[in-house]
Amino acid sequence: MSFDESYTTPDGRTIGGVLMEMRNITLRFGGVTAIKDISFDIRQGEIRAIIGPNGAGKTSMLNVINGFYHPQEGEIIFRGETRRRMRPYEAASQGISRTFQNVALFQGMSTLDNIMAGRTLKMHKNFFWQMLRYGPALQEEIEHRKVVEKIIDFLEIQSIRKKPVGSLPYGLQKRVELARALAAEPSLLLLDEPMAGMNVEEKEDMSRFILDVNDEFGTTIALIEHDMGVVMDLADRVVALDYGKKIADGTPQEVQSNQAVIDAYLGVAH
Amino acid sequence: MDFLYSVFIGPFIDMASAPDFLLQVLWEGFVAGTLYSLIALGFVLIFKASGVFNFAQGIMAVFAALTLVGLYEAGVPAYLALLITIGIMALLAVGVERLILRHMVNQDEIILFMATIGLSYFLIGLGELIFGGETKSMITEQLGLPTGSTTVDVAGGIVILQHIDIAAAVIAVIMVVALAVFFNITRIGRALRAVADDHQAALSVGISLNQIWAIVWFAAGIVALATGIMWGARSDVSFALQIVALKALPVLMLGGFTSIPGAIVGGLIVGFGEKLFEVYWGGLMGGGVEGWFAYVIALIFLLFRPQGLFGDKIIERV
Amino acid sequence: MFYREAGQYKTSYKEDSAIFPILQDRIAIWFYLAVAFVIIPLFGSEFLINSVMIPFLVFALATIGLNILTGYTGQISLGHGAFMGVGAYSTYKLVTYFPDTNVVVLILLSGFFSAAVGMVFGLPSLKIKGFYLVVTTLAAQFFLEWAFIRIPWLYNYNDSGAIEVPQREVFNIIVTGPDASVLSRYFVVLSIVVVMTWIASNIIHGRIGRSWMMIRDMDIAAELIGVRPLFAKLSSFAVSSFYAGVAGALMVFLWLGAAEVESFDVNVSFQILFMVIIGGLGSLVGSFLGAAFIWILPIVIRAVPRIMGMDINASTVEQLNFMIVGALIVLFLIIEPHGLARMWAILKQKLRVWPFPY
């Protein structure tokens, strides 16, 4: 298949052209090379999985994508433009949003406030109106509340709206985190092990939400996941990393049968 | 032009033209630095073992000195008073562990920090209630510490060295070596390092946190007693010293919270730096700059090296 | 039973996101305001108003200021005593240069000076975190203390080195200076504190307040979501020091009448931090409770021996005071590290379900 034009998946979704391209990314911490010369792309509207054993550089890769780490070499092309070195909040304002491997919710705030926090970039009313909580500021607050309520309905977390997130069970926290990421209406959503530590039922729920998000909002998703079954079911294309290098890239079936991937997961005598 | 001259050139000409005075200033800085190092050392001991940022370390030094002098004034012979004071510091350590730390496991750092401020209020009140609020002078001679001074001829002039300062430096070195040996060789030292690394992991291999904490607070109490004696010998024994004790904080910033060599080096840097700055540059700003110099130096330093002198580079993770 | 939201249905997001969504809370607030504005002035003694209420309100305002920084944004400061001083000294200079301007306006303006100073000393917070920040704020504290002594221009070259409050009138009522009546000072302080508390509550519940809390709870995640740490931290430092500055100006102009550098020393910074922690980090109600606890408790302790007819000399009482306050602080932190505000919330929860335990 050609990677330059849009195509339609068997289940009827349209995958567009390249949204983000990583070219020869190398990332070092002192003497340790976390990512070595990796190139791959993410296409508009697809679900792209990044897999690999522990320490393969997957999370570092996500951190590079959203500007938290700055690679020493290589370039990132986002929406056809080479991206300069930027701070994470700038990446966020370009529509890149993410969830974290270890839940990174704002523990001191309620579910509602956490999701409202996701809309920070969309709210602009100035300090004066904020001080009075009246007129434009109040209106803005209420408009965004409506959007947030839609997301709450979508992810079925109405009942925990006012609860402090610290008291929620793990699976729900993951879901709130997804809600927070969605609240920013991202064009590229990064999910770092969205199903880690979940039981089968919770995984099924989460998978359904991820597919729904992709389907309903057309959001491009890049996800890291260890559960191969989930990856095979969700992803359109998979890139596999090992020791900071890319070892395979292609459809789930191609990657699954790739000898290097099998070796990386099962281990071979070197 | 004149201003630039008086900032960048004048002071150095002053230094070069009167090297004996410069040496005297450096010696003063060294002595002050030793005392800062000792307070910082007490901080480091406790912070390493229990993660408590012990604000009361300076107060403990004054409290120990006050107890010692108070006992002597009540008629107890000097050496016996010293022993009793050591006993009281042990009691204090056990008390702190029983009554405070034990009940505050798993609390936020800031809460523990506040608790030590509460502790210092308590100690100030207690010390003054028992021994009175007026300033006292240290029983230097009675403890067999040297007094008087030696005049050394160097660099075409003289430098005056107070014997008590020399003694302070020697005792500081002995204490640091003794602590280093203790923590590196003994079983308790190994347990302490384990606790410092990870409380829960240490608990899981059967180390008693409570015991370690009491020991560490006792060690810090001994350091405090030594600091209090040396300090009291140079000036008076009173709780006004707590403001000076706060200078251990910038010292710790320079050296890092967990590094014993860091505390020493940081203390010396602050000691030398503030004396030189006060004497040669302070006049330009109307004097009295010793009060904030240490903090500003620590602040500027931290901006360029947030991990301190001996810390590893911080890599943020998500 | 008496306190619950049952039957109070919200039909719009506006109602639901109101700051006091529950009717009983709104009634309570009006009740407290009535007590403060009517009952206390009518029936309170001069001692109660001048030595208890005015300083309590001033410290509550300073505590709100520090709570914005420490409780809501997670940045510890031990420089707030000095920031109060900046407010006081700049009001003094403003009053000197603009003798005919309304003094209340000048007091509020002085907040901008302390906000500016606070932002300068807040800059390191972008790189320095946690306890390391304590040192940078201590640098502010000691540097400013030094400046208050060594720059005579700040106190108009007085021989005493102190600032003394001149007499000023607002709408023909004397509000500052030795001749100002207790009640007029009380009403000015109370009004300013009430309005500024309301504004603080509005900011905290809006976008800016949320961005502060995001920085507090997880600064990295906040940045990845789109909060600019520079803006969030500095705005918090600015607002926080603004409140401290106004509190300092109120303290000198409407309570003490004169002040020297000792009025703003590091012990004041500690006292305010205590009020924040005892009251509850990240709670406006807690700021008032903490200020009340730390300010009023010593007054009570001092009064106890007198009431019981014991003859204890003043310094002993002071020493006992230190011990008791110190011990109570430790006890408090052990029993309820989240402060009086959490106890208040638990009490309300209990009232909600009363007479049932759950």
Strands A220-224 and C168-170: unpaired
Is C134 in contact with B249 (Cβ distance < 8 A)?
yes
- pLDDT (average), residues C289-309: 83
Mutation pick from A60, A65, A66, A69 vs chain B, by most beta carbons of B within 10 Å, is A69
- Identify the chains in contact with C, defined as 3+ C-beta pairs within 8 A: A, B
Cα–Cα distances in Å, from B97 out to A8, A31, B26, B113? 68, 43, 40, 14
Q: Report yes or no: C29 at the B interface, CB cutoff 8 Å.
A: no
Q: Which of A214-218, B194-198, C231-235 has the lowest mean pLDDT?
A: B194-198
Task: Check residue B14 and give its pLDDT.
Answer: 74
Q: Does residue B290 form part of some domain?
A: no
What distance in Å separates residue B318's CA from the closest CA in chain A?
7
Q: What are the beta bridge partners of residue A77?
A: A21, A82
Q: Of A238, A224, A230, which is closest to residue A199 (Cα–Cα)?
A: A230
Q: Does residue B171 form part of some domain?
A: yes
- Apex B68 CA angle, B66 and B73, nearest 5: 90
DSSP string, C223-279: HHHT--HHHHHHHHHHHHHHHHHHHHHHIIIIIISEE-GGGGSHHHHHHHHHHHHHH
Question: How far apart are alpha carbons B61 and B70 in whole angstroms?
Answer: 14
Query: Which chain B residues touch C325 with a CB distance below 8 Å?
Result: 118, 121, 125
> Which residue from C minimizes the CA distance to A121?
C226
- pLDDT above 90 for C7: no
Question: How far apart are alpha carbons C26 and C18 in whole angstroms?
Answer: 11
- pLDDT above 50 for C110: yes
Q: Report yes or no: C10 at the A interface, CB cutoff 8 Å.
A: no
Mutation pick from A127, A162, A190, A192 vs chain C, by most beta carbons of C within 10 Å, is A127
Task: Check residue C358 and give its pLDDT.
Answer: 63
Domain ranges of chain A: 1-95+186-270, 108-184
Cα–Cα distances in Å, from A112 out to A123, A131, A206, C144, C265? 16, 21, 20, 42, 41
* DSSP 8-state code for residue A27: E
- Which two tokens mark C317? 């009482």
- Which two tokens mark A41? 């792309």
CB pairs under 8 A between A and B: 10
Task: Check residue A2 and give its pLDDT.
Answer: 42
pLDDT tens readout for residues B264-302? 888 888 888 888 888 877 777 777 777 788 888 888 887
Query: Which chain B residues touch A101 with a CB distance below 8 Å?
Result: 318
CB pairs under 8 A between B and C: 135
List the domain range (segments joined by +) for residue B176: 2-30+54-247
Is C211 in contact with A120 (Cβ distance < 8 A)?
yes
Task: Check residue A129 and give its pLDDT.
Answer: 80
Q: Does residue B241 form part of some domain?
A: yes
Phi, psi of A80 (to 5 degrees): 80, 0
**Residue whose pair of structure tokens reads 């092309």 in the numeric block:** A77
Cα–Cα distances in Å, from B149 out to A71, A173, B139, B158, C18? 61, 69, 17, 12, 73
Query: Which chain C residues touch A123 with a CB distance below 8 Å?
Result: 207
Is C208 in contact with A127 (Cβ distance < 8 A)?
yes
What distance in Å separates residue A133's CA from the closest CA in chain C?
5
What distance in Å separates residue B24's CA from the closest CA in chain C?
26
- pLDDT (average), residues C69-84: 91
Identify whether C337 is preceded by a cis peptide bond (ω within 30 of 0). Answer: no
Q: Report yes or no: C211 at the A interface, CB cutoff 8 Å.
A: yes
Interface residues of A toward B, Cβ cutoff 8 Å, are: 29-30, 59, 63, 68, 100-102, 104
Q: Report yes or no: C22 at the A interface, CB cutoff 8 Å.
A: no
Question: How far apart are alpha carbons C72 and C67 in whole angstroms?
Answer: 6
Task: Tell me the three state secondary structure of residue C163.
Answer: strand
C112: confidence class by pLDDT, cuts 50, 70, 90: very high
pLDDT tens readout for residues B23-78? 888 888 888 888 888 888 888 888 877 778 888 888 888 889 888 888 888 888 88
pLDDT tens readout for residues A50-89? 998 888 888 899 889 888 889 999 889 988 888 888 888 8
Is C227 in contact with A125 (Cβ distance < 8 A)?
no
Query: Which chain A residues touch C224 with a CB distance below 8 Å?
Result: 66, 68, 88-89, 91-92, 98
Q: Of A93, A131, A138, which has the smallest distance from its Cβ to C226's Cβ?
A: A93
Is B318 in contact with A30 (Cβ distance < 8 A)?
no
Quick one: what percent of chain C has pLDDT higher than 70? 96
> Exposed (0-12), middle (13-18) or buried (19+): which is A196, by Cβ within 10 Å?
middle
> Which residue from A minimizes the CA distance to B315?
A29
Q: Does residue B265 form part of some domain?
A: no
ipTM of the complex: 0.85
Query: Which chain C residues touch B99 with a CB distance below 8 Å?
Result: 330
Task: Check residue B1 and give its pLDDT.
Answer: 65
Q: Does residue B237 form part of some domain?
A: yes
Q: Does residue B303 form part of some domain?
A: no
Number of domains in chain B: 1
Query: Which chain A residues touch B313 with a CB distance below 8 Å?
Result: 30
What distance in Å separates residue B105's CA from the closest CA in chain C?
10
- Which two tokens mark B296? 């500003």
Question: How far apart are alpha carbons A25 and A61 in whole angstroms?
Answer: 9
Task: Check residue C55 and give its pLDDT.
Answer: 93
- Which two tokens mark B100? 């405070």
Task: Check residue A115 and give its pLDDT.
Answer: 92
Domain ranges of chain C: 44-265
| Between B196 and A213, the higher pLDDT residue | A213
Q: Does residue B285 form part of some domain?
A: no
Contact C81, C264 (CB under 8 A): yes
Question: How far apart are alpha carbons A251 and A249 in whole angstroms?
Answer: 7
Contact B214, B192 (CB under 8 A): no
The answer to whether domain A1-95+186-270 has CATH 3.40.50.300 is: yes
Q: Report yes or no: C238 at the A interface, CB cutoff 8 Å.
A: no
- pLDDT above 90 for C223: no
Query: Which chain B residues touch A100 with a CB distance below 8 Å?
Result: 318
What distance in Å separates residue C256's CA from the closest CA in chain A?
30
Is C14 in contact with A109 (Cβ distance < 8 A)?
no
- Identify the chains in contact with A, defined as 3+ C-beta pairs within 8 A: B, C
**Which of 55-74 (C) contact B at CB < 8 A?**
none
Query: Which chain A residues touch C216 with a CB distance below 8 Å?
Result: 106, 108
Cα–Cα distances in Å, from C265 out to A15, C78, C81, C143, C216? 65, 10, 6, 11, 27
| Size (chain B), residues | 318
pLDDT tens readout for residues C125-137? 887 777 778 888 8
What is the pTM assigned to this prediction?
A: 0.87
Question: How far apart are alpha carbons B22 and B28 in whole angstroms?
Answer: 10
Mutation pick from B105, B121, B254, B257 vs chain C, by most beta carbons of C within 10 Å, is B121
Is B114 in contact with C128 (Cβ distance < 8 A)?
no
Task: Check residue C72 and give its pLDDT.
Answer: 92
What distance in Å separates residue C5's CA from the closest CA in chain A?
14
Query: Which chain C residues touch B295 with a CB distance below 8 Å?
Result: 135-136, 138-139, 142-143
What distance in Å separates residue A16's CA from the closest CA in chain B?
30
Q: Report yes or no: C147 at the B interface, CB cutoff 8 Å.
A: no
| Between B13 and A153, the higher pLDDT residue | A153
Query: Which chain C residues touch B129 with a CB distance below 8 Å?
Result: 316, 319-320, 323
C101: confidence class by pLDDT, cuts 50, 70, 90: confident
> Which residue from A minimizes the CA distance to B318?
A100
- pLDDT (average), residues B122-132: 85
Query: Which chain B residues touch C66 with a CB distance below 8 Å?
Result: none
Query: Which chain C residues touch B124 with a CB distance below 8 Å?
Result: 322, 326
Is A133 in contact with C213 (Cβ distance < 8 A)?
no
Question: How far apart are alpha carbons C228 and C233 in whole angstroms?
Answer: 9
Q: Does residue B36 form part of some domain?
A: no
Question: How far apart are alpha carbons C120 and C315 in whole angstroms?
Answer: 40
**Which of 96-135 (C) contact B at CB < 8 A?**
124, 127-132, 134-135
pLDDT tens readout for residues B133-153? 777 777 777 776 777 777 777
In one letter, which amino acid is A133? R
Arithmetic mean of pLDDT over chain B: 80
In one letter, which amino acid is A180? R
| Between A136 and C67, the higher pLDDT residue | C67
Task: Check residue B317 and give its pLDDT.
Answer: 63
Residues of chain A with pLDDT under 50: 1-3
- Which two tokens mark C226? 């789109």
What distance in Å separates residue C228's CA from the closest CA in chain A?
6
Identify whether A194 is preceded by a cis peptide bond (ω within 30 of 0). Answer: no
Question: How far apart are alpha carbons B302 and A177 in whole angstroms?
Answer: 34
C2: confidence class by pLDDT, cuts 50, 70, 90: low
Task: Check residue B314 and give its pLDDT.
Answer: 60
Q: Of B52, B106, B71, which is closest to residue B214 (Cα–Cα)?
A: B52
Question: How far apart are alpha carbons A22 and A6 in whole angstroms?
Answer: 19
Q: Report yes or no: A92 at the C interface, CB cutoff 8 Å.
A: yes
Task: Check residue B303 and give its pLDDT.
Answer: 78
